[in-house]
Structure 1
Amino acid sequence: MFSKKQLIKLLAPLIVEQIMAVLVGMVDVVMVAAVGEAAVSGVSLVDSISVLIIQIMGALATGGAVISAQYLGKEQPRDARKAAGQLVSVTLTLSLIVTLIAIIGNRHLLGAIFGKVELSVMDNAQTYFWITALSYPFIGLYNACAALFRSMGNSKVSMMTSLVMNIINIVGNAICVFGLKMGVAGVAYPTLFSRIIAAAMMFVLIQNRHNSIRLNSMKSLVPDMGMIKNILSIGIPGGLESGMFQFGKIFLQSLVSSLGTASIAGYAVASNLVTILYLPGTAIGLGLITIVGQCVGAGRLSEAKHYAKSLIGVNYAILLVLSSSMVLFSGELVGIYQLSGQASRLSRDLITAHSIAMLVWPLAFTIPHTLRASLDARFTMAVSVFSMWAFRIGFAYLFVYIFKLGVMGIWYGMFIDWIFRAVVFSLRFKGFEKRAISV
C-alpha cells in the first residue's frame, strides 16, 4: 500500500518536527531563565500540568487518527471525514472544559497540586497558568488536525505549521522578555499567540476540498455517539497511559531530589541529552499509526506487520549511529553544561548505560503504536501502567533505598520496565493478524 517514497515523505517531516520541538524547548528554557529563578520555578510547575494535558489531548487525537486511517484503508472517505468532524468536536469540548477549570481554579488548583511554595513562585505560576490555559483549546485543535493530516499520509503540513508556531514563539519571547521586560507574562503571551495562529492555519488547511479527510460542513461536528465511542476506545486508554507515565516521572523526580545536588544536576543533564535518542522512534511510531491503520482498514494485515517490522529495523539502524555517537562524545556534550567533576562523571555514566539499554527501546515503545492502530489500545494501556508502577518506580525505590545504588538505580528500574514491555509487546505482536480489529 505504501511505496518507499511515500514512507519517506511521511516519516521525514515527523522526525524533523520532533527534533524542532526539542530544540525550541531548550531555547525556551534559556529565555525563561533570563526572567529570574522565581519565573523559572513558576513556569516549570505549570509546564508539568500543561504537558499532562497536552499528552492526554494528543492521545485523543491518536484515537481519531486511527479511526480515520482505517476508514481510508476501507476506501470509505465519507466515514473518514465524519470521524474527523467528531474528533475536532470532542477535542474542542474537552479542552474548553479543562480551560474553564484552570481559569476558575487557578491559584487554588496550583496550591492543591504543589502545596506551599514561595509567594513569588506562586505569583509567577498563577500568571503563567492563567494565560497559557487560554491556549488549551487551540493546541487541542492543532493536535487534532495534525493527527488527521498524518492519517492521510501527509505530515509535511504539521511540520511546516509547527515551524511557524515555534518561530512566532521564539521571536515573541525575545521581544516580550528582553525588549518589553514583561517578565513571566512575556513568556506566556507568545505561547498563547503562536498556538492560536497554528490552530487557525490547520483549521483552514484541513477544510481544503482536495484532502481525502476534511471538514467540509458543520454537520460533521454534530455528535455521533457510535463514532465518538470508537475514538474514545483508543483515546481514553492512551490518555490514561500518558497521564500515568507523567505522574510516574513526577514520582521519580522527587526520588532524585533526595540524592543530593550532584545527582540532581547529573541526572537532569543526562535526561536532557538522551532525549535525542527517542526522536526517530517517536516519529516512526506516529507514522505507524497511519500505515498500520490504513492496512488494517484494507484488511491487509500481513502487510501491516511487514511495515512494522521494517520500520523497527530502520529505528535500530538510526539508534546504532545515535547511541554510538552519544557515548563517544558524552564528555564534550556534558561539558557544555559546565557541571562539577562529580556531576559530570555521573552524567557520562548515565548516558553510557542509557545508550546501551536503547537496544530494547524500539520493541518496548514502537510496537505499541502498531497495536493501537489495530484497536488494541486497552492492552497497551494495561501493560504500560502496570510496568511503570511495578518495575520502573518499584525497582527504582528498591535500588536507591535498599541497595544504595544512587541515581543509577533509578535508570536500572527504568531498564527493567523496558525489558518487561519489550517481551510482552513482542509476544502480543506475534499474534497481530489474529487480534487486529477493523472499525
Structure 2
Amino acid sequence: MLDIKKIRADFPILKRKVHGKPLIYFDNGATSQTPTVVIDAIIDYYSNYNANIHRGVHTLSQEATDKYEEARIKIQKHFNAKHAYEIILTAGTTESVNIVASGFSSLLQEGDEVIVSALEHHSNIVPWQMMCEKAGAILRVIPMDEDGSLRIDLYDEMLSNKTKLVFCNHVSNALGTINPIETIIDKAHKFGAYVLIDGAQACPHIKPDVQALDVDFYVVSAHKMCGPTGVGILYGKQELLEKLPPYQGGGEMIDTVTFEKTTYAGLPHKFEAGTPNICGGIAFGVAVDYMNSIGFENIQKTEHELLNYATEKLLTIDGLKIYGTSTKTSVISFNIEGIHPYDIGSILDKLGIAVRTGHHCAQPIMDFYRIPGTVRASLSFYNTKEEIDIMIEAVQKAKMMLS
C-alpha cells in the first residue's frame, strides 16, 4: 500500500484551510493537484533557462529546447507511442480534439457517418458537430444504459461502410464509467473507420498503451495528471497525422515561406504553430515521472479501495442515489431526493470540502437521467478514508439543513 502521509506531503495545497476547515479536495475530475516536484520544475524554468525553443543558437534556447524535447520523449514512452514525433504537444484535450476535427472537416464527404458516444464531455461533441456541418456528414450517437454503460449491441448496428470516424471517451467524466475502448476500436477498424479516444479522465488512473490498443488518436490533458494547466497531447499514428492538414498557420510549423507558396514542416512541428507552452510541456514530463514513481498499479488499488468505501458509506444515507454503477474509476455522482445538487455543494464548501456540482459539461447524460445535475466527488490516490468520513457527515448535515 502507498504511504499516503508521505504522498500528501508532496502536495502543498493539501495543507491549507478553506472557511477555517482543513481542505478536503474531491474535485480531481476537474483538475488534480500539483506536487512540489512539478511546481519546482516550473520555477526552475523561469528562474534559470527561460527562452524560446527550436530557434536560437544561444545557450538558454538550447537548454530549453533540450528539456522540452526530453519531455516529449518521456510522454512518448509513457503512452508507448512508436515515435516521439507522434506526440503533438497542445494546449490540452480540447485543442487536441479540435485539431483532428478541423483536419477531417476537409477530408469527409457529404453523407459520411461519424459516431460518438452518449457519455461524452461537450469538448468531444461540439467539435464533431461543427465538423459534420462543414462536411455534410451525419453524426450518430451510441446510446447509454441506465447503469451508465454504453449499448455496444446498438453500436454494432450503427457501424457500416459509411462510418468514417468514431469518437469515445476512455472514462466518463460525469459518471466514471470505463468504456470498452478495445472493443470499440476493433469493431470500428473492421469497417475501415478511424477512432479517437478522449483519455483526459482515464490517464490519472490508467496507463494506456496506444500501440497495444491500436488506437488512431488519443488525447490527454496534463492538469488531470498532476501537471500544469494549458498543456496536453494529441497522439496520432504517423500516417494519419501526415494525412491531416495543419490546424493553424504561423511560425514553427513551416518549412519554407514565400509570398507565392508555403511548405510545411514535418511532424510534430506541422501542428505546433507559434511559441508553445514551453514551461508547461517540461512540467508535464516531470508530472509523468512523478506518477510513474508512485506506480499506476498502486494508484489503481488505492483509488479502488477509496471508491468502494465512499460508495458503501454514501448509500447508507436515505434518499441518496448514485448515477453510474457499471465498472468505473474513482468518481461518484449522486443526488439526494428533493434537494438541488448546487445547495449540497455549497454547504460542503463551507465545511472545507471541494466537490463539483452541475452537469459537468455532459448535459446529454443529465438529460438521459432527467436531472439538472449531480454532486460529483472524484477521488485521487492522495485522498483518505478519514476525508471520506468527514464528507459523509457533511452530506448528512446538508440533508438535514435542506430537507
* Greater fraction strand: 2
Higher helix share: 1
- Normalising by structure 1, report the TM-score: 0.26
